[in-house]
Amino acid sequence: MTGAAVERVLAPVRSRLIETLAGRSDEVPAWILRLEDGEDAGYFGPGSAAWAVHGGMPTLVAGVRALLLQALHPGALAGVRDFSRYREDPLGRLAGTIQWIHTVTFGSRGQAVAGSEMVRSLHRRVTGSYVDGHGVERPYSANDPDLARWVHLAFTDAFLTAHENWGGPIPGGADGYVAEWATAAELMGVPDAPRSAAALRAEIDAVTDAGELRGGPEVEEIVRFIRRAPLRRMLRPSYRIVFRAAVSTLEPRHRDLLGLPATAAERVLPLHGATSAVLAGARTLLGPQTQAELAARRRLARLAGA
């Protein structure tokens, strides 16, 4: 098969994948182009743990894992259920999350601060009540430090775990990534975020041991939606592998709360290798560097030449 023929086969898949991640496939989103315009190097940079982790394809697994773990906190779940348009516009919500991650990771400091403030301003209206893991009704606010802390813990653990399973070396190791990404927690109003992998996982264990997490019908509804995300038909086989990979990295007690206990088939099927193949395919389609990273490198080159 000629190169042109291969490209004709790959082009529709690439287009659908970009559409899923960025919200559209016909042009580079304006927010990515603006990352080239910042006036400083940003909080991170080439050679950082954050660039290595967030620029890698294991983020596809990490995003699913983070959603599942976050959903186990009834306060976080209530905010999604009561205010999110995840059913009507799931890809729009995904694109918004990716925009924040990449802005903080690859943008200038000013852009990272502004992007985080925008998210926090949207969160100010996300308030209500929920029944906690002990059966007590409690008020919630998306900007509440305790609730925002759980979202940060689940996110950081998901991205670190996925990269440890399917990514390359992390500059500074796992501790380097956790310490760097604590900056994002501070931007989102979360004080004293953990700065080592051991501290991160100890906090997750503490929340779990305290009975703050719970399963139940509402969690199972979210799990069903995530499992059967409304993707284009050509992406669904790969997504099924990504979903199973994300679930396989969760602790057994979290899986039980999600209604996703381990099965004998998982221990037999070569899931790790299949996931590696899917992620390698995604990298082939999207290229060796994200558009956000390329924009950041252009900004850095401009600043270096100023």
Q: What is the pLDDT of residue 7?
A: 44
CA angle 66, 69, 75 (to 5 degrees): 110
Q: What is the pLDDT of residue 93?
A: 63
69's CB contacts (< 8 A; 6+ apart) are: 154, 157, 158, 250, 254
User: Residue ranges of the domains in the chain?
Assistant: 29-305
Count of CB atoms situated within 10 Å of the CB of 298: 14
pLDDT tens digit at each of 306 positions of the chain: 444 443 443 455 555 555 555 555 556 788 899 999 989 999 999 999 999 999 999 999 999 999 999 999 998 888 777 766 556 555 556 678 889 999 999 999 999 999 999 998 888 887 888 787 788 888 877 778 888 999 999 999 999 999 999 999 999 999 999 999 999 999 999 999 999 999 999 999 999 999 999 999 999 999 998 999 888 888 889 999 999 999 999 999 999 999 998 876 666 568 999 999 999 988 888 877 888 999 999 999 999 985
Q: What is the pLDDT of residue 17?
A: 59
Q: What is the pLDDT of residue 288?
A: 76
In residues, how long is the chain?
306
